[in-house]
């Protein structure tokens, strides 16, 4: 086994940020090529982030760190396995947090419970080779060039922003789900200032149009356990 070069928390954080942004760009381009439209592929309500790619990219580097000198074939196999496992676990994790699925490969042949499929697992293998052989060395050099004090300040600001972003994303999606699936709207009269603020945000900011545009591929399970697209529920409610 090769000796692993120790990664710092700063490197891991920047891997997450960079791959989250790059992942959104890749998803947007892929969407346009395959469907001819540029729909939102964001994972958070604010900012150009697709955290699934950020987490997966960071996991790939952590797992494969120190193995970049392996042959391309070996690195491909390692990445194929690590990427597939990470994507499967992330699918469960996101569904448990949001109560919804963000992707489903059930329409693609050779899939496992719709959470992963052979086609995308092959992409993880290819991506792992590219990341470990080409991208990671460049990223490490760029991260090292950032002065320590400005870097620490930027990291704190980004971290706090992402935490707030995650909280509002979960809140927004749960509000959206309650509205379109269970017909629950927060309109109770109250004099409590914080409750009023909550109602204002839920009713005026987390609108169906905003959330469905930001997360067009959300899926939920109805009372019968059938998986359905949320935007179809909105269309049905309008008719």
pLDDT above 90 (res 25): yes
- Does some domain include residue 1? no
Please give the average per-residue pLDDT across 158-168, as a whole number: 96
Q: Are residues 176 and 229 in the same domain?
A: yes
Domain closes at, from 89, 117, 148: 148
- Whole-number pLDDT of residue 2: 44
Cα angle, residue 97 at apex, residues 94 and 101 outer, rounded to 5°: 45
Reply yes or no on whether the pLDDT at 77 is more than 90: yes
Packed helices 72-98 and 51-64: angle between N→C axes, nearest 10 degrees: 140
The reply to whether 29 and 142 lie within a common domain is yes
d(CA 25, CA 203): 30
Per-residue pLDDT of 27-67, as tens digits, reads 899 888 887 888 888 989 999 999 988 998 999 999 998 77
155 lies in some domain: no
Average pLDDT over residues 204-226: 80
144 and 176 co-located in one domain? no
- Give me the pLDDT at residue 96, please: 80
Three-class DSSP labels, 28-92: HHHHHHHHCCCCCCCCCCCCCCCHHHHHHHHHHHHHHCCCCCCCHHHHHHHHHHHHHHHHHHHHH
The answer to whether residues 142 and 47 belong to one domain is yes
Residue 43 is assigned to a structural domain of this protein: yes
Would 95 be classed as within a structural domain?
yes
Q: Is the pLDDT of residue 217 over 70?
A: yes
Tell me: do 33 and 100 sit in the same domain.
yes
Own/partner pairs, 175-179, CB within 8 angstroms, 24+ separation: 175/202, 175/206, 175/211, 176/206, 176/208, 176/211, 176/212, 176/218, 176/230, 177/99, 177/100, 177/220, 177/230, 179/208
Is the CB of residue 47 less than 8 Å from the CB of residue 161? Answer: yes
Q: Are 128 and 200 found together in one domain? A: no
Domain of residue 135, residue span: 9-148
Distance CA 228, CA 100 (A): 10
pLDDT in tens, 124-144: 999 999 999 999 999 999 999
Task: Give 99's pLDDT tier (boundaries 50, 70, 90).
Answer: low
Q: Global pTM?
A: 0.82
Instruction: Determine the pLDDT at residue 49.
Output: 95
If one counts the domains in the chain, the total is: 2
217 located within any domain = yes
Q: Do 18 and 139 touch, CB atoms closer than 8 A?
A: yes
């Amino acid at each position: 086994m090769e000796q692993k070069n120790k990664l710092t928390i700063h490197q891991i954080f920047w891997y997450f940020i960079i791959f989250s942004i790059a992942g959104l760009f890749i998803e947007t381009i892929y969407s346009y090529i395959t469907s001819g439209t540029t729909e939102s592929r964001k994972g958070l309500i604010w900012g150009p982030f697709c955290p699934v790619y950020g987490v997966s990219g960071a996991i790939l580097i952590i797992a494969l760190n120190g193995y970049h000198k392996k042959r391309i074939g070996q690195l491909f196999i390692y990445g194929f396995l690590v990427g597939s496992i990470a994507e499967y676990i992330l699918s469960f994790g996101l569904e448990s947090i949001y109560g919804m699925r963000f992707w489903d490969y059930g329409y693609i042949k050779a899939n496992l419970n719709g959470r992963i499929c052979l086609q995308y697992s092959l992409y993880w293998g290819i991506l792992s080779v590219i990341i470990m052989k080409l991208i990671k060395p460049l990223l490490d050099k760029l991260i090292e060039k950032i002065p320590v004090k400005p870097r620490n300040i930027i990291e704190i600001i980004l971290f706090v922003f992402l935490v707030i972003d995650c909280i509002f994303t979960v809140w927004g999606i749960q509000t959206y789900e309650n509205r379109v699936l269970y017909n629950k709207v927060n309109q109770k009269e109250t004099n409590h200032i914080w409750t009023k603020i909550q109602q204002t945000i839920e009713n005026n900011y987390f609108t169906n149009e905003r959330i469905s545009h930001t997360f067009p591929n959300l899926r939920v399970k109805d009372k019968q356990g059938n998986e359905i697209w949320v935007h179809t529920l909105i269309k049905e409610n309008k008719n």
